[in-house]
Structure 1
Amino acid sequence: MADKPTRRTRSGSIDGGLAGAGRGEGPITRAAVLAAALQIVDQDGVDGLSMRRLAEAVRRDPMVIYRHVPNKAAVLDGVAEVVFAQLSVDATDPDWMSQLRSVASDFRQLALDHPRVVPLLVTRPLATPLGLRPQAVLRPLEDILALLTRAGFAGPDALHIYRALFGFMYGHVLNELQEIVENPEETDDLLRLGLYRLPLGQFPLLRGLAPALADYDGAAELDRGLDILLTGLAGALSRGHDSTPPGSTP
């Protein structure tokens, strides 16, 4: 599956968030503050974000920032919220497998667009009770539940699929973003990945997979994982019911 830009942006996103704010003119908004925070994290990571730097980015007194976000933790939650707001699910799609593949592909693209935000996407929502999370964070869950229940899955089974899908997606993007080679210019795979350092007698299989490890393709790897995950889930869940949900693979 080829990389593609995120398909849709929900109304809760921050398109044009810093228009006018950077000049210190007019009222500042929460959306503009979070837009500036996202830019800082994209550029310098979470460690580069501070309330003082955020105030400087929107050219306001720090006390103005605190009216919209009470502390740095709230800013980090807001940054995750902004990115999640760009992930959309078509709950009316009759092909639930295809829709979940699109969601996974879009999430991967968001991760590649904002690699330094990914740790926040994985951890920040979990630090807040489910019912207290921003609606933009909860919307993909609600829409995927709607997609799957329309396809014929029971609510608990739909929740199981959501958890399995997002657990896989989180793991995939973290793994893809951490793919680092030792010698990028080296043509020999063992040398390129640094696998020559491993004792042959203790890691023969890992060393033997050097060509496959060196030929890492994030999009293709995502597709392979989704093939296994979605087909397996559909088969396992359908065996527990008298009928197969529409669109699933027996």
Structure 2
Amino acid sequence: MTQQLETSRRIPLNRGRVLEAAVALADKAGLDALSMRRLAEDLGVVPMALYKHVANKDELLDGMVDAVIGEIAPVAADAGWKDAVRLRVLSARQALLRHPWVRHVLETRTNRTPAVLTYTDEVIGMFLAGGFSVDLTHHVMHALGSRMWGFTQELFDDAAAGRGAEAAVPPEAQAAMVQEMAERYPNILQVATAAQHDDGSVVSYGCDDQFEFEFALDLMLDGFERLQRLGWSSTAAKRGGK
């Protein structure tokens, strides 16, 4: 450990190294564990040394988000708009899966950094380049919402079906929870437990999050394409058109 700290001290500190260490710390221990003092310890420097590169924790979080956005793969220039959007969104999803804390930061931060704005601008540009009107693109972006970043709130989770902590809940209690769901919310239970993992195990009910995400994304992209071909406009829609 001492040798590691000595090696760390010999490497010049810069903003990129600070952000890299902060991302690694958040990945390992979560955002709650992230502090300037803890980060300084990981880097083998005094906390004041960090402030030469980030003014405060807010700026640190902004820089961390920008660093993760930098991991989102660019799309080939010759890709059609639908492939371009799909690949970009799925790449963003993979980046957020590698760094789960980013979702919370994106949902709670009001500051839009240049990297966030650039990513948003690029996604909008894909639709415009595909022949979408500004009007339709505006509504498309509302529809995409957080899905643009590769995440969305799921309707069904383990808790909704009386599952999720099987190891901690005795089998008889699990059965009682499912029975209560069946009596009070039969439709939710039927749909929420419709999918099983490949092994078909009784305790392995649940959805394939990646499949469900791509399923919904493809439905949306197909719908956007249909509206674009129809020459959809919000003005006509408000008048009762399609």
With the shorter chain as reference, the TM-score category is 0.7 to 0.9
| Displacement after TM superposition at 1:70 (Å) | 1.3
CA distance in 2, matches of 1:161, 1:75: 32
Question: For 1:7-18, what aligned pairs fall within 5 Å after superposition?
Answer: none
Name the % identity.
29
TM-score, normalisation: structure 1: 0.72
1:220 matched residue in structure 2: 211
Equivalent position amino acid for 1:219 in 2: Q
| Displacement after TM superposition at 1:160 (Å) | 3.3
2:42 matched residue in structure 1: 57
> How many correspondences in the alignment?
214
Contact 2:72–2:88 (8 Å) recurs in 1: yes
Q: What secondary structure does 1:24 align onto?
A: helix
Equivalent position amino acid for 1:60 in 2: V
| Displacement after TM superposition at 1:53 (Å) | 0.8
2:20 matched residue in structure 1: 35
Question: For 1:81-100, what aligned pairs fall within 5 Å after superposition?
Answer: 81-90=66-75, 92-100=77-85
Question: More helix per residue: 1 or 2?
Answer: 2
Contact 1:23–1:59 (8 Å) recurs in 2: yes
CA distance in 1, matches of 2:9, 2:107: 33
Query: Which protein shows a greater Rg?
Result: 2
- Compared CA separation, residues 150 and 199, structure 1 to 2 (3 A): closer
Runs of 4+ in 1 over 4 A off after TM superposition: none
The one-character-per-residue Cα deviations of 1:28-83 (angstroms, maximum 9, x if unpaired) are: 11111111111111111111001111111111221110111111111111111111
> Which ranges in structure 1 are unaligned for 5 or more consecutive residues?
1-19, 243-250
CA distance in 1, matches of 2:64, 2:206: 33
Contact 1:149–1:158 (8 Å) recurs in 2: yes
| Displacement after TM superposition at 1:184 (Å) | 6.1
Q: What secondary structure does 1:201 align onto?
A: helix
Contact 2:26–2:101 (8 Å) recurs in 1: yes
1:231 aligns to 2:222 (yes or no): yes
Question: For 1:161-172, what aligned pairs fall within 5 Å after superposition?
Answer: 161-169=140-148, 172=151
The one-character-per-residue Cα deviations of 1:153-198 (angstroms, maximum 9, x if unpaired) are: 123433433343343355845549x756221699x9x949x85163
Contact 1:91–1:147 (8 Å) recurs in 2: no
2:8 matched residue in structure 1: 23
- Compared CA separation, residues 216 and 68, structure 1 to 2 (3 A): same
| Displacement after TM superposition at 1:85 (Å) | 1.5
Query: Which structure ranks higher in relative contact order (CA pairs < 8 Å, sequence separation ≥ 6)?
Result: 1
Correspondence for 2:166 among 158, 183, 192: 183
- Compared CA separation, residues 66 and 25, structure 1 to 2 (3 A): same
CA distance in 2, matches of 1:92, 1:162: 21
1:211 aligns to 2:194 (yes or no): yes
Equivalent position amino acid for 1:100 in 2: V
Correspondence for 1:74 among 59, 64, 75: 59
1:200 aligns to 2:189 (yes or no): no
CA distance in 2, matches of 1:111, 1:197: 36
